[in-house]
Amino acid sequence: MKHLPEHQKGIIAIVIAAILWSTGGIFIKLTTLTAMQISFFRCAFAALVFLVVFKRELFKANIFTFVNAGLYAAVLILYVIATKTTTAANAVFLQYTAPIYVLIFEPIINKTKYEKINIITIIICILGMTLFFTDKLSSGSIYGNIFALLSGVAFAAFLLGMRKNKKEHQFVSIFYGNIIVVLITLYSIFQIESLSFSNFIMVSYLGIFQVGIAYIVFAYGLKRVLAVEASLISMIEPVLNPVWVLIGYGELPSVTAIFGGIIIIITVSIRAVVQQSAIMKARFKNYL
């Protein structure tokens, strides 16, 4: 790693982060704790990782920091609830609809016109989203799908909020988001009669590696690669997440959900490539 070019180090870091993120579904499924109990331990351990790594930097905050922290806390809790109440594939694919909401609301917030490619992206992704609701409507999975959609909406709001804040405050929002979740879910740990060793190991892993270290590694990689590269490589997460759950938990998502997820991932990926190409062309013209 030491002798690799910085760009390659960045790519490897993003891949590692995406793989770590993808393991969330399997451990959330396997632990017998409730969604709120998982959220408490997961975020408590993640906050400790941030505290150890960033120390005093975590106290550099502004008002946007805490607004974004609240949005991130919603993402964390809603995702765990969704994973517990619907398939892991549905939870992660529907959370990855966040870019769609960004495309919808960013022009309203910034008072800009809707671009044709964005409108096409939104329409195709909405068609993909509808496939998640075409079966099992009478079962509890419908509520899990709704929580997953809300997680995507919260994630989109979080992304928009992060763009409005200074870069040095962005990772601080992640830390305080975890703290907010800990405070919200604190009541749930008093309902645990006994915490098994296996459950403790799984929630420790989720907090330390799947959230804490994954974000730190991702931030390291993001400084060394293009945003579009990071976005595309991150698609490893929704692809691998259901695979780990299938192997370790035996959960098989419906064919329509898989098809819907593929539509969303491909559409968002193409949109990211086209956007980056437009940016590069504009820079080239300015250079000339």
Q: Which two tokens stand for residue 220?
A: 């390291």
Residue 280 has pLDDT above 70, yes or no: no
Q: What is the C-alpha separation between 90 and 82, in angstroms, rounded?
A: 8
**pLDDT higher than 60, residue 253:** yes
pLDDT tier for residue 1 given thresholds of 50, 70 and 90: low
Task: Pick the range with the lowest mean pLDDT from 78-82, 134-138, 154-158.
Answer: 134-138
- What are the residues whose beta carbons fall under 8 Å from the beta carbon of 215, sequence distance 6 or more? 17, 46, 171, 174
- CA torsion sign for 218, 221, 222, 223 is positive
Q: What is the pLDDT of residue 99?
A: 78
pLDDT at residue 137, as a whole number: 46
Q: What is the pLDDT of residues 93-145, one digit of tens each?
A: 888 888 788 888 878 877 777 778 778 888 888 888 787 766 554 445 788 88
